């Protein structure tokens, strides 16, 4: 990357000045005239995005929920990683869901629902392609086409999304006009600048801020709940994400010999997975967990700087994100040597039995209403019974499973399932009655991921159990006939896992 600077900037200094203060770019009139000339500015070809035939129904549902109100859904802005370099852009999930945009589109954009008649006129405000004769084109290293590549013009973006478009230069007026006479709901915390514009306008018209914040929360809740049932496009994208993830896990298995010989073998595993995720998709949907030995007992171990040793179990929790930004979320626990020890096998089989029990309950839904929380309860019943058999529970499994007990949760503190989609923990702002207490329905996609984590410093465990962590996680689609394991072609049984690892190249 060109022109980086490691100095820590003054937090009040404008980002552009961090470049200009040490820039060697020419600024003569002759240069400006010359650099603006001779460019092919034929409008970019554009075609409708894959999601464009699905997003109108999503927007219609939002419009119907808030008649007569203006709704503001920002994509979010670029975030500084270091000085004048930004993180790769990833838009807010609600914005992606309603526009169908993909990959790194579209920083600083805002989707606005303007009430009109019984519905809304919807406009996408974004930064369109700048002319070659503008300073932005050659001088702006954050947005300029010379630096970061071309953007769509207004017409092309409208063709891609099926949404009317305007320049984001006019968005502040669009979202604040007539604020005293119209209710405005905002997806907060997506774009701090837009938050500030709306907050200032609300203050100026003396809006009831408590009521306004409640309205914003209701919008976020609706947008979250709207994603609980996936349409055909979303399901197809999740299948693609799972397929890329399988390729990543195959890379992991192939990389185990190299990981064994490396001082940070966990990072060898991490990067093996991420090669597939980035090559075939947009990247990873969340930070990869590559946790060997006792590190597997740290639930969100993303440091991945440990060694990978023969005899260890390595827990890999990873998901590739498709270009559409839908992500998979899979966990497999692998015996590094290729064979589970007797104790490791006992732990693995307990977790697998818990997973199978959760699947079985979810599959009952065509014959009876099945609550989402029942999936977790089925897994916990198995976990508690196995821990009783292991002799580690201080009470019976029945007592532990009671609300007053829960001792078994010492070794599995997380839930068994969460919804999956644009976010790895999708639909997180949905109401409890729409999530934990909801009846599962066709089109829902969620994980089943029981585990057992026996930390090396847990003195309540027999010594032979300590330092072993196991999780098995699959991605599940609810269908009209039952459930489909989207990750069903991944090795899952103990014998399948051992054969998978043993199939790796043996040279180290």
Contact 334, 317 (CB under 8 A): no
As a whole number of angstroms, the distance between CA 124 and CA 132 comes to 23
How high is the pLDDT of residue 17? Answer: 65
Determine the number of helices (DSSP H) and then strands (DSSP E) in the chain.
16, 17
User: Which residues are paired to 113 by β-bridges?
Assistant: 71, 122
Residues comprising the chain, all counted: 508
Q: What is the DSSP string of 38-84?
A: S---PPPP----TTTTTHHHHHHHHHHHSTT-EEEEE-----EEETT
Question: Domains of the chain (ranges plus CATH)?
Answer: 44-226 (3.40.350.10), 232-503 (3.90.230.10)
Q: Is 112 helix (H, G, I), strand (E, B) or coil?
A: strand
As a whole number of angstroms, the distance between CA 98 and CA 223 comes to 9
- pTM for the model stands at 0.94
Please give the structure tokens belonging to residue 357. Answer: 């029990």
How high is the pLDDT of residue 5? Answer: 39
Q: Is 29 helix (H, G, I), strand (E, B) or coil?
A: helix
As a whole number of angstroms, the distance between CA 149 and CA 137 comes to 10
| Phi, psi at 83, each rounded to 5° | 55, -105
| Phi, psi at 122, each rounded to 5° | -110, 130
As a whole number of angstroms, the distance between CA 497 and CA 475 comes to 18
How high is the pLDDT of residue 15? Answer: 61
As a whole number of angstroms, the distance between CA 421 and CA 445 comes to 7
As a whole number of angstroms, the distance between CA 413 and CA 401 comes to 13
As a whole number of angstroms, the distance between CA 340 and CA 135 comes to 62
As a whole number of angstroms, the distance between CA 134 and CA 127 comes to 14
Indicate the pairing of strand 184-186 with strand 164-167.
unpaired
Q: Is the dihedral angle over the CA atoms 5, 7, 8, 10 positive or is it negative?
A: negative
How many beta carbons lie within 10 A of that of residue 459, not counting itself? 7
3-state DSSP percent of the chain in helix, strand and coil, to 5:
40, 15, 45
123 membership: H or E segment, kind and range: strand 119-126
How many beta carbons lie within 10 A of that of residue 117, not counting itself? 8
As a whole number of angstroms, the distance between CA 23 and CA 301 comes to 40
Dihedral angle at the C-alpha atoms of 218, 222, 224, 229, nearest 10 degrees?
160
Name the DSSP letter for residue 480. S
* Per-residue confidence in pLDDT tens, the chain, 508 aa: 444 433 333 443 466 666 666 667 788 999 999 999 999 988 888 999 999 999 999 999 999 999 999 999 999 999 999 998 999 999 999 999 999 999 999 999 999 999 999 999 999 999 999 999 998 998 899 999 999 999 999 999 999 999 999 999 999 999 999 998 999 999 999 999 999 999 999 999 999 999 999 999 999 999 999 999 999 999 999 999 999 999 999 999 999 999 998 999 999 999 999 999 999 999 999 999 999 999 999 999 999 999 999 999 999 999 999 999 999 999 999 999 999 999 999 999 999 999 999 999 999 999 999 999 999 999 999 999 999 999 999 999 999 999 999 999 999 999 999 999 999 999 999 999 999 999 999 999 999 999 999 999 999 999 999 999 999 999 999 999 999 999 999 999 999 999 999 997 654 4
As a whole number of angstroms, the distance between CA 85 and CA 4 comes to 8
Taking the alpha carbons at both ends of the chain, their separation in whole angstroms is 34
Whether cis (ω within 30° of 0) applies to the bond prior to 229 is no
Contact 474, 355 (CB under 8 A): yes
As a whole number of angstroms, the distance between CA 397 and CA 399 comes to 5
Contact 87, 81 (CB under 8 A): yes
How high is the pLDDT of residue 45? Answer: 86
CA angle 467, 472, 477 (to 5 degrees): 160
From the list 143, 36, 136, the residue with the least C-alpha distance to 89 is: 143
As a whole number of angstroms, the distance between CA 281 and CA 480 comes to 29
How high is the pLDDT of residue 18? Answer: 63
How high is the pLDDT of residue 115? Answer: 98
H-state helical runs in 331-371: 342-362
How high is the pLDDT of residue 16? Answer: 61
């Amino acid at each position: 990357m060109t022109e980086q600077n490691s100095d820590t900037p003054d937090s009040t200094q404008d980002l552009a000045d961090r470049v200009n203060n040490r820039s060697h770019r020419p600024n003569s009139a002759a240069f400006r005239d010359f650099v603006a000339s001779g460019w092919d500015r034929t409008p970019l070809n554009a075609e409708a995005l894959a999601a464009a035939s699905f997003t109108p129904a999503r927007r219609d549902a939002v419009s119907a929920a808030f008649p007569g109100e203006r709704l503001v859904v920002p994509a979010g802005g670029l975030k500084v990683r270091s000085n004048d370099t930004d993180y790769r852009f990833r838009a807010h999930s609600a914005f992606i869901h309603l526009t169908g945009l993909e990959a790194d589109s579209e920083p600083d954009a805002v989707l606005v629902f303007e009430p009109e008649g019984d519905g809304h006129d919807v406009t996408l405000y974004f930064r369109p392609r700048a002319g070659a004769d503008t300073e932005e084109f050659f001088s702006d290293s954050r947005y300029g086409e010379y630096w970061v590549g071309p953007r769509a013009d207004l017409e092309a973006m409208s063709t891609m999304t099926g949404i009317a478009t305007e320049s984001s230069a006019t968005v502040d007026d669009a979202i604040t006009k007539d604020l005293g006479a119209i209710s405005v709901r905002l997806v907060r915390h997506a774009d701090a600048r837009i938050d500030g514009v709306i907050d200032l306008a609300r203050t100026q018209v003396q809006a009831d801020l408590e009521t306004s914040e409640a309205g914003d929360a209701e919008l976020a809740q609706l947008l979250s709940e709207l994603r609980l049932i996936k349409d055909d496009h979303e399901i197809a994208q999740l299948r693609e994400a799972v397929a890329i993830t399988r390729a990543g896990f195959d890379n992991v298995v192939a990389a185990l010999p190299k990981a064994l010989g490396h001082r940070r073998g966990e990072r060898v595993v991490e990067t093996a997975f991420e090669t597939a995720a980035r090559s075939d998709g947009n990247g990873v949907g969340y930070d990869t967990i590559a946790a060997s030995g006792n590190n597997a007992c740290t639930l969100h171990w993303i440091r991945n700087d440990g060694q990978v040793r023969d005899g260890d179990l390595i827990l890999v929790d990873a998901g590739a994100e498709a270009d559409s930004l839908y992500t998979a979320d899979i966990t497999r626990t692998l015996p590094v040597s290729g064979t589970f020890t007797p104790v490791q096998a006992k732990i693995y089989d307990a977790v697998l039995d818990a997973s199978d029990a959760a699947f079985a309950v979810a599959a009952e839904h065509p014959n009876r209403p099945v609550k989402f929380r029942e999936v977790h309860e089925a897994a916990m019943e198995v976990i508690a019974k196995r821990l009783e058999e292991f002799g580690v529970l201080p009470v019976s499994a029945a007592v532990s499973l009671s609300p007053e007990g829960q001792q078994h949760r010492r070794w599995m503190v997380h839930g068994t399932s969460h919804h999956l989609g644009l976010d790895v923990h999708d639909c997180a702002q949905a109401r409890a009655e729409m999530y934990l207490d909801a009846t599962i329905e066709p089109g829902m996609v969620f994980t089943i991921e029981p585990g057992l984590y026996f930390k090396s410093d847990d003195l309540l465990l027999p010594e032979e159990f300590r330092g072993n962590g196991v999780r098995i996680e699959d991605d599940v689609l609810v269908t009209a006939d039952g459930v489909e394991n989207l990750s069903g072609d991944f090795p899952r049984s103990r014998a399948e896992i051992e054969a998978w690892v043993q199939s790796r190249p043996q040279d180290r």
